[in-house]
A = this chain, B = another copy of it.
């Protein structure tokens, strides 16, 4: 049985990507593409009735988000390797996918060679990344040193409320805290983003995709 082909599935809502992956993987003699799917639900149905050794998973699907789907896959079939495919190069996204059981993370601009290597590595139970992703992971503090501020949990919470148009007093009431505390947080936020006032704060935060 061990000489049977590896069963590989593709989940991606871009037909072009599916097409490209299929063509690329044709060359690999030991791999059989057992199915391709454009929604998470479709794939989950398939997975419950079939063996899938490895799945190439686009984490931005129309029906479900990649994190949840990944977790579901590992729950239904813990031995299936999940390779995340994505355009998102944010650190947090990568980390979340790994946390949810993914074996690796590739950006969609990865070369065919990289993809092929990553599949091999994943199948031999290694965690694997495309070149660009490795770079992102490599520099943890570098980003923080270079402008993008790190926010605490409370700060993120309060930032959202401010962006929502809530005043210091209202936020304080909602969180059962002193307005003075909220103000301190607001000021710390402004300092972190080097913003002169809330208007700039919100702009900065949104540009940095903190909102």
A interface residue numbers (CB < 8 A to B): 13-24, 87, 108-112, 115, 162-165, 167, 195-203, 206-207, 211
Cα distance, A4 to B199, chains bound together (Å)? 60
Chain B residues within an 8 Å CB radius of A108: 14, 16-17
How many copies of this protein are present in the complex?
2
Say how far A85's CB is from chain B's closest CB, in angstroms. Answer: 9
By the criterion CB–CB under 8 Å, are A13 and B109 in contact? yes
Instruction: Given A19-B23, A23-B23, verify A199-B112 contact (CB < 8 Å).
Output: no
Say how far A8's CB is from chain B's closest CB, in angstroms. Answer: 15
Chain B residues within an 8 Å CB radius of A164: 199-200, 203
Closest 9 CB pairs of A and B: A165-B200, A20-B20, A19-B20, A16-B20, A165-B196, A202-B202, A198-B199, A163-B203, A23-B23
